[in-house]
Amino acid sequence: MRAKPSLDWLLVLVPVSVVLELSGGPDLAIFLTSAAAILPLAGLIGRSTEQLALHTGPRIGGLINATFGNVTELIIAVFLILEDKTEIVKASLTGSILGNLLLVLGVSFLTGGIRHKEQHYNAHAASVHSTSLVLAVTGLLMPALFALGSQGETVVQREILSGTVAAVLIGLYVAALAFTLVTHEHLFRTPDEDEAPAWSRRRAIVMLLIATGLVALESEFLVASLEPALADIGLSEFFVGLILIPIVGNAAEHSSAVLFALRNKVDVTLEIAIGSSTQIALFVAPALVFISLAVGHPMDFVFSTFEVAAVALSTVLVFMISSDGRSNWLEGAQLMGAYVIMAISFFFVEHL
Amino acid sequence: MRAKPSLDWLLVLVPVSVVLELSGGPDLAIFLTSAAAILPLAGLIGRSTEQLALHTGPRIGGLINATFGNVTELIIAVFLILEDKTEIVKASLTGSILGNLLLVLGVSFLTGGIRHKEQHYNAHAASVHSTSLVLAVTGLLMPALFALGSQGETVVQREILSGTVAAVLIGLYVAALAFTLVTHEHLFRTPDEDEAPAWSRRRAIVMLLIATGLVALESEFLVASLEPALADIGLSEFFVGLILIPIVGNAAEHSSAVLFALRNKVDVTLEIAIGSSTQIALFVAPALVFISLAVGHPMDFVFSTFEVAAVALSTVLVFMISSDGRSNWLEGAQLMGAYVIMAISFFFVEHL
Amino acid sequence: MRAKPSLDWLLVLVPVSVVLELSGGPDLAIFLTSAAAILPLAGLIGRSTEQLALHTGPRIGGLINATFGNVTELIIAVFLILEDKTEIVKASLTGSILGNLLLVLGVSFLTGGIRHKEQHYNAHAASVHSTSLVLAVTGLLMPALFALGSQGETVVQREILSGTVAAVLIGLYVAALAFTLVTHEHLFRTPDEDEAPAWSRRRAIVMLLIATGLVALESEFLVASLEPALADIGLSEFFVGLILIPIVGNAAEHSSAVLFALRNKVDVTLEIAIGSSTQIALFVAPALVFISLAVGHPMDFVFSTFEVAAVALSTVLVFMISSDGRSNWLEGAQLMGAYVIMAISFFFVEHL
């Protein structure tokens, strides 16, 4: 998948951001360069994962992809948690789900649909993902209702509830992996092109480690400069979490998904866009509940009504659009329209 | 479609209502006669539009139908806006969506299903409409949540948010039109009977203009007499907006939809009932946001929880019932049952 | 269906509970023995109903099954109403719907799916049930919104609204019965094995009457000992209503449903699990509104947000999982996961 060379030149921003940070440069400049530097690094993680997967065969490859797919989001989130910015973490998780389901899938369906009139994909896979998303909505809604309905709940209750819900979601994520990769793998097999790996196994692993390390470095810069930089440009933290961070974290996926749609391989597009969302909802977000406990900055699993409603609506929309195993440009435009409506609402919410 | 001559005799109420208005007759009498006079006029608009469409060919015809289909509702709404009765406008828009989705479609499926056991229609068209409705729900829900969650929002924020959401919905409406009438028109083609127009093009245009003008006249009478008339009969404005006005505005569509279902042409029934709802949700309601600004009586796009919930439930129900491309009497009864449950709830809400 | 002999030995608890009650034994002991005694009695009601149905032919048999299927829940609910514990009644109705939709169906799909890889069933029947459930959600949501939105509503309004909604739901339940048993019975016919009844008609009727009478007796013990027993063990009434009572009331259905899934007769499983839920939602719960009025302890039809949300989510999940007419172990695990998330949320809610 030599697909997005266009972003590689941004790698030059890695040293630039380091110099800025060391020389005590302006926060806004650090914020922007580190955000932009993450784009090609996330792409590099994606490419090394794919190369590694070509060496390991489809099953282990699927597992590696699933595990490293959202590692950028995970790293940024951990740094945010260490700064006790749990509300931004939740916003960025929600925004990542929405961005993948509506924006990435929408642009892919729209551009792919303009070129190919009608595109077809495995409705089975779409259906497993949709059901996983409804479970995620259940896991988001019940604790939110619990928190809304009760002023008197104790912190311990909130933590136990959050931990249990998170454990169930992770269990269901593992179950869905076992289903798609092991017990019912035949339903999800896509015509394979038997691509030869372009990188050696060693090179893939080394690149993966380097890119992940650099993402961690840039994420630290990004998070540290976030607050002062936002004060400069007048955007609220909530909006940045919901819209900007997810776009940075998912830019690589975004361009891959669109390219595959243009090449009429919508199955891969779906796996990237919806698969990434279910992974964040059922694995990354719940894992952060436990990670946050381990690092001593506990984050509960109670999201705002706004966030729950947005994820629920997106889930319904994706289910309706994808359940027939076909896509076209109108469906892409509709997904993008929903994203715009949500983004503009979020924009004002957080100016309050 | 010489289908509903039964209502034409009501045209006699046009002069009656004019005389009552000029002679300063009782408000209740003016209210009732103008409401009843709108029924045959709306039917006349429908008939002239269809005749005109037969002259222009299916594409332009589809566009004309789509544009004039809800002109009655639009005119009544504009007069209500001029009187600053924006809550009734919103109630009547919601009521029109619910009435078409649940009552019109329900009665059609029930009567058609009693005669024909199982009826079939184009599941493609139903699916495009359902997705459009979910977008409408998104457009209704996000601003409502915004308004619920924030006491401190400014009027300007509310207007910008309303305007953006309205613009997105209109854009998606135009996109859906382009999809069904131009780029993917082959998916929606119904077996054509090549009906010859009964009216000349000129006659159709003249009738359309006259009927529209008279609807405007009667709507003015209706709106002006609304408040004093309601005081007489003890119904709340909210209930009148949600239930009575939509029934008046949609009576013509209602009878056509049922007749087509009886003749086993459920595709036309669906186009009338669901198509009309999506048009109100994605075009008429958003257009009124801009029209209201233009006439200096701004109406925002923030609907009540009740209204959003009712539209969302109706959308889910219609999606589930129509996604298989088949209908039967039970589905009709179920839609009607949902309408009754909502109507009775609305009835009490507004007595408060 | 000689399927669950394992529970019959619990019948010994019937005399035990009577002795405890007469001798003024400890409340907790009475509570536990009467709860446990209901398990085999409910199974006995199920078996006699089936035997009776074999004598009457499928149509009347279907009606008998539908009527007596939830008689245990109904009896417990009536005794609770007589004690004015209407909130527990509502919780137990909600819990019964959730338990059947998520737990019973989940365990069945999981165990059946482990043995049979993929199981098939009549998607028509699943679709009728799903639509009925959405109507139930409509009937639950609208009055709940009405109650939320208005402090000033009178008791009379609440009663009229509850009565009307209940009447509509019962009407739709009867309509769905007429559809599946009479007008469109051919769509729902399952390959019949022409089983010979093991009991005579007289024996079936006598057993049905005895078992129902004993259930009534034990229910009285159960309800009377509920409050003091709960004080002993520290569980809230709400949790007992939502989780424990439904498990007691549905144990017989539960084991039957699983057995049929293991034997690859998922159509019967679905009829038991989803059919039982729709019956509670559209028939038992609305009937209790009228029964409660008749016995002078009126119960309205206003459920809590939590309850409405849980039923709505379960409905969406079951619709998505069952609309393709196929099931597998993952879908079972997903349903069970949703149940656990809801149960843990309920557990904390009622500790408040």
Report pLDDT for B351.
Answer: 44
Summarize the confidence of residues B230-243 as an average pLDDT.
Answer: 81
Chain A: give the shortest CA distance to residue C325, in Å: 13
Summarize the confidence of residues C190-195 as an average pLDDT.
Answer: 64
| CB within 8 Å of chain B, chain C residues 185-214 | none
- Give A184's contacts in chain C (Cβ within 8 Å): 117-118, 328, 330
| Nearest residue to B74 (alpha-carbon basis) of B47, B54, B92 | B92
Q: Does A152 touch chain C (CB under 8 A)?
A: yes
B276-B281-B285-B289 Cα dihedral, nearest 10 degrees: -150
Task: Return the DSSP state at A186.
Answer: G
Q: Which chains touch A (3 or more CB pairs under 8 A)?
A: B, C
- Cα A296 to Cα C202: distance, rounded to the nearest angstrom: 69
For tokens 């008429």, the residue is B284
For tokens 């630039």, the residue is A16
Say if residues C317 and C338 touch (Cβ distance below 8 Å). Answer: yes
Summarize the confidence of residues C24-48 as an average pLDDT.
Answer: 88
Whether residue B291 is predicted with pLDDT greater than 70 in this model: the reply is yes
In this complex, how many residue pairs, one in chain A and one in chain B, have their CB atoms less than 8 Å apart? 93
Say if residues C288 and C301 touch (Cβ distance below 8 Å). Answer: no
- Cα C123 to Cα C289: distance, rounded to the nearest angstrom: 32
The pLDDT tens digits of the residues spanning C151-178 come to 666 778 888 889 999 999 999 999 998 8
Whether residue B68 is predicted with pLDDT greater than 70 in this model: the reply is yes
Chain C: give the shortest CA distance to residue B338, in Å: 6
Q: Does C328 touch chain B (CB under 8 A)?
A: no
Q: Does B340 touch chain A (CB under 8 A)?
A: no
Q: Are A317 and B131 a contacting pair at CB < 8 A?
A: yes
Summarize the confidence of residues B38-53 as an average pLDDT.
Answer: 85
Which of A240-244, A275-279, B146-150, C208-212 is the least confident region?
B146-150
- Cα A154 to Cα B344: distance, rounded to the nearest angstrom: 40
- Cα A103 to Cα A93: distance, rounded to the nearest angstrom: 15
pTM over 0.80: yes
Residue A177 identity: L
Q: Are B330 and C184 a contacting pair at CB < 8 A?
A: yes
Whether residue A66 is predicted with pLDDT greater than 80 in this model: the reply is no
Which of A297-306, C232-241, C302-311, C343-352 is the least confident region?
C343-352
Confidence of residue A287 (pLDDT cuts 50, 70, 90): very high
Of B127, B145, B183, the CB nearest to A306: B145
Predicted complex: ipTM over 0.90: no
A277-A282-A284-A289 Cα dihedral, nearest 10 degrees: 140
- Tell me the angle at which helices B27-56 and B13-22 cross, rounded to the nearest 10 degrees: 140
CA distances from B48 to B52, B106, B110, B258 (A): 6, 26, 28, 19
- Give B338's contacts in chain C (Cβ within 8 Å): 135, 138
In chain C, % of residues over pLDDT 90 = 34
Q: Which chains touch C (3 or more CB pairs under 8 A)?
A: A, B
For tokens 């008998």, the residue is C64
Q: Does A141 touch chain C (CB under 8 A)?
A: yes
Q: Are C337 and A169 a contacting pair at CB < 8 A?
A: yes
Indicate if the alpha-carbon torsion angle C179, C181, C186, C190 is positive or negative: positive
Taking chain A, what is the end-to-end CA distance rounded to the nearest angstrom? 43
Q: Are C330 and A161 a contacting pair at CB < 8 A?
A: no
C-beta neighbour count of B233 within 10 angstroms: 10
- Cα A10 to Cα A17: distance, rounded to the nearest angstrom: 11
Chain B: give the shortest CA distance to residue A75, in Å: 30
The pLDDT tens digits of the residues spanning C269-286 come to 888 888 889 999 999 999
The pLDDT tens digits of the residues spanning C110-143 come to 999 999 888 998 888 888 888 999 999 999 998 8
Report pLDDT for C163.
Answer: 92
- Give C138's contacts in chain B (Cβ within 8 Å): 313, 317, 338, 341-342
Task: Return the DSSP state at A1.
Answer: -
SS3 A264: coil
Helix (H) or strand (E) holding B120: strand B119-120
Q: Does B317 touch chain C (CB under 8 A)?
A: yes
Strand partners, B120: B326
CA distances from C195 to A296, A324, C192, C198, C292 (A): 64, 40, 8, 9, 40
For C250, how many CA atoms within 13 A lie in the half-sphere containing its CB?
A: 31
Q: Which two tokens stand for residue B24?
A: 């300063």
Pairing of strands B119-120, A326-327: unpaired
In chain B, % of residues over pLDDT 90 = 34
SS3 B326: strand
- Give A134's contacts in chain C (Cβ within 8 Å): 313, 316-317, 320
Chain A: give the shortest CA distance to residue B165, in Å: 6
- Give B323's contacts in chain A (Cβ within 8 Å): 323
Q: Are B341 and C142 a contacting pair at CB < 8 A?
A: yes
Q: Does A333 touch chain B (CB under 8 A)?
A: yes
Say if residues A219 and A71 touch (Cβ distance below 8 Å). Answer: no
Task: Return the DSSP state at C12.
Answer: G
